[in-house]
């Protein structure tokens, strides 16, 4: 029998009568199909109960009075249930709409990230960036000038979701609008700080590490704005040390100055930049220690830089049962031997 809202009562009478007589699985299947049709036509629970009552009274005119009275109670209950159900449907539709908007924002956010790693003579670069959810608060950026020098940014936006994506786009375009200062870390951060202080809500802050590498002199100049310290590996000494910087997060004070630091990069040395999602991962409610990160890098540093960051991520994700608590971004820049 073909079901439609126009013949709903007649169809339900046929389904109910058939099921009572046969009690078959087929009857249950027919009832399921009928329910789907009713849902598609937004029939409320109380209307459904009323149809059942009418059909039952028609099939069994001599229903006990108590059974008939019970339908009055059931209808009252279903009216309240129906109101709650419709509110649930409305909230679910709104959630779907929000999820769709988040998907659009997440796709937009992906367009802000570099599509490929730049090639620099004598420098091996690897990067991996994995969001904990659909939207990421981490951002990284590369820029290369005519002299083959490269600027590298890594940032963490204190905030999530669509506001973080919008803030990320502002940071990218602000950086792109400062071509003459892109390879001067301190000056670039000072300009970005003014942009953030003027345009970002007081509840949001941005940490950033920005560095520039000159392959002609093999020098790395860098500056930080409250960002998670990276690491510097000395191949000669076979040791890691923290890549510390001093500087307030972006957006706190318009007059903040950012100190520049300098490193002479020797063959085999490499720089590690990361977000706090790398070091603040948890295993059994314990934070992963920075020494554990460097130990993992040691285990894989015989590989190309891209394979190193991928392997470190895989190991840390496995330790956390593949459930990241925060966005994860890890970068390595290694001077080739």
Greater model confidence, 86 or 250 = 250
Residue 161 pLDDT level (bands cut at 50, 70, 90): low
Mean pLDDT for the stretch of residues 115-127: 89
- Structural domain boundaries in the chain: 5-99, 113-335
Instruction: Let me know: does 306 contact 117? Beta carbons within 8 Å.
Output: yes
pLDDT at 101: 72
Instruction: Let me know: does 327 contact 136? Beta carbons within 8 Å.
Output: yes
Question: In the predicted model, is pLDDT for residue 160 greater than 90?
Answer: no
β partners of residue 233: 240, 270
DSSP, collapsed to helix, strand or coil, labels residue 309 as: helix
Question: In the predicted model, is pLDDT for residue 280 greater than 60?
Answer: yes
Q: What is the spatial distance between Cα 22 and Cα 39, in angstroms, rounded to a whole number?
A: 26
Range of 56-70, 205-219, 268-282, 285-299 with top mean pLDDT:
205-219
DSSP, collapsed to helix, strand or coil, labels residue 237 as: coil
- CATH architecture entry for 5-99: Orthogonal Bundle (1.10)
What's the pTM value of the predicted model, to 2 decimals?
0.70
Mean pLDDT for the stretch of residues 271-284: 82
Segment (H or E) for 222: strand 219-225
Q: For 113-335, which CATH superfamily applies?
A: PPM-type phosphatase domain (3.60.40.10)
Q: What is the spatial distance between Cα 11 and Cα 282, in angstroms, rounded to a whole number?
A: 57
SS (H, E, C) 248-282: CCECCCCCCCCCCEEEECCCCCEEEEECHHHHCCE
Q: What is the pLDDT of residues 162-191, one digit of tens each?
A: 677 777 778 888 887 776 555 689 989 998
Lowest mean pLDDT among 1-5, 35-39, 152-156, 210-214: 1-5
pLDDT at 52: 84
Range of 55-59, 86-90, 122-126, 250-254 with top mean pLDDT:
122-126
pLDDT at 72: 78
pLDDT at 32: 83
């Amino acid at each position: 029998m073909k079901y439609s809202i126009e013949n709903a009562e007649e169809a339900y009478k046929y389904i109910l009568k058939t099921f009572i007589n046969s009690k078959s699985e087929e009857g249950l299947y027919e009832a399921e199909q009928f329910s789907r049709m009713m849902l598609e036509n937004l029939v409320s629970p109380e209307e459904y109960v009323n149809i059942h009552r009418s059909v039952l009274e028609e099939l069994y005119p001599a229903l006990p009075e108590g059974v008939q009275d019970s339908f009055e109670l059931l209808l009252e209950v279903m009216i309240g249930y129906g109101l709650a159900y419709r509110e649930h449907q409305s909230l679910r539709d709104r959630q779907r709409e929000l999820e769709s908007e988040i998907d659009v924002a997440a796709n937009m956010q992906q367009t802000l990230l570099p599509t490929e790693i730049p090639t620099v003579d004598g420098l091996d670069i690897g990067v991996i960036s994995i969001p904990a959810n659909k939207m990421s608060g981490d951002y990284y950026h590369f820029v290369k000038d005519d002299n083959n020098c490269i600027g590298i940014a890594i940032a963490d936006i204190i905030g999530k979701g669509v506001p973080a994506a919008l803030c990320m786009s502002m940071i990218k375009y602000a950086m792109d609008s400062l071509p003459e200062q892109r390879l001067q870390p301190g000056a670039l951060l000072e300009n970005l700080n003014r942009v953030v202080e003027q345009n970002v809500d007081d509840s949001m802050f941005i940490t950033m590490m920005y560095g520039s590498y000159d392959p002609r002199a093999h020098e790395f100049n860098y500056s930080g704005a409250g960002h998670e310290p990276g690491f510097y590996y000395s191949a000669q000494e076979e040791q890691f040390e923290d890549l510390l910087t001093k500087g307030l997060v972006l957006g706190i004070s318009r007059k903040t100055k950012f100190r520049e630091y300098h490193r002479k990069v020797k063959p085999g040395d490499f720089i590690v930049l990361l977000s706090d999602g790398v070091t603040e991962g948890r295993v059994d409610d314990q934070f992963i220690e920075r020494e554990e990160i460097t130990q993992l890098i040691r285990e894989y540093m015989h590989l190309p830089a891209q394979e190193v960051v991928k392997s470190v991520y895989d190991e840390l994700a496995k330790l956390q049962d593949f459930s990241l608590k925060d966005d994860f971004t890890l970068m390595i820049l290694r001077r080739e031997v």
